[in-house]
Copies of this chain bind each other. A is one copy, B any other.
Amino acid sequence: MNLHEYQAKDILRRFGVTTPQGEVVTTPEAAREAATKFGGPVMVKAQVHVGGRGKAGGVKFCTTADEAYEKASNILGMSIKGLTVTKVLIAPAADIVSEAYVGIIVDRARKKPVFMVSAAGGIDIEEVAATTPEKIRYHAVDVRYGLMPFEALELGFFLYQDAKLARAAAKVMQQLYAAFMATGCSLAEINPLVVTPAGDVVALDGKMVVDDNELERRADLEALRDVESENPAEVDARNHNLTFIKLDGNVGCIVNGAGLAMATMDLVKYYGGEPANFLDIGGSSNPEKVVNALRLITADPNVKAILFNIFGGITRTDDVANGIVTAIKSNPLKVPLIIRLTGTNEEIAMQILKQNGLSASSDMDEAVKEAVRLAAAASGGTAA
Cβ distance A149 to chain B, nearest Cβ, rounded Å: 13
Q: How far is the CA of A145 from the CA of B144 in the complex (A)?
A: 6
Question: Cβ of A144: which chain B residues have Cβ within 8 Å of it?
Answer: 144-145
Cβ distance A140 to chain B, nearest Cβ, rounded Å: 16
Range class of the A interface residue count: under 10
Q: Say what secondary structure dominates the interface of chain A.
A: loop
Q: How far is the CA of A145 from the CA of B145 in the complex (A)?
A: 9
Cβ distance A144 to chain B, nearest Cβ, rounded Å: 4
Q: Which of A117-150 contact B (CB under 8 A)?
A: 144-145
Cβ distance A352 to chain B, nearest Cβ, rounded Å: 43
Cβ distance A250 to chain B, nearest Cβ, rounded Å: 50
Question: Cβ of A145: which chain B residues have Cβ within 8 Å of it?
Answer: 144
Q: Which of A277-323 contact B (CB under 8 A)?
A: none
Cβ distance A17 to chain B, nearest Cβ, rounded Å: 23
Cβ distance A78 to chain B, nearest Cβ, rounded Å: 48
Q: How far is the CA of A250 from the CA of B13 in the complex (A)?
A: 62
Q: Which of A138-182 contact B (CB under 8 A)?
A: 144-145
Q: How far is the CA of A144 from the CA of B144 in the complex (A)?
A: 5
User: Chain B residue with minimal CB distance to A144?
Assistant: B144
Cβ distance A228 to chain B, nearest Cβ, rounded Å: 37
User: Chain B residue with minimal CB distance to A146?
Assistant: B144
Q: How far is the CA of A144 from the CA of B141 in the complex (A)?
A: 13
User: Chain B residue with minimal CB distance to A143?
Assistant: B144
User: Chain B residue with minimal CB distance to A142?
Assistant: B144
Q: How far is the CA of A144 from the CA of B145 in the complex (A)?
A: 6
Cβ distance A38 to chain B, nearest Cβ, rounded Å: 38
Q: How far is the CA of A145 from the CA of B142 in the complex (A)?
A: 11
User: Chain B residue with minimal CB distance to A145?
Assistant: B144
A-B pairs with beta carbons under 8 Å apart, 2 shown: A144-B144, A144-B145
Interface positions of A (Cβ within 8 A of B): 144-145
| CB-based closest 2 A-B pairs | A144-B144, A144-B145
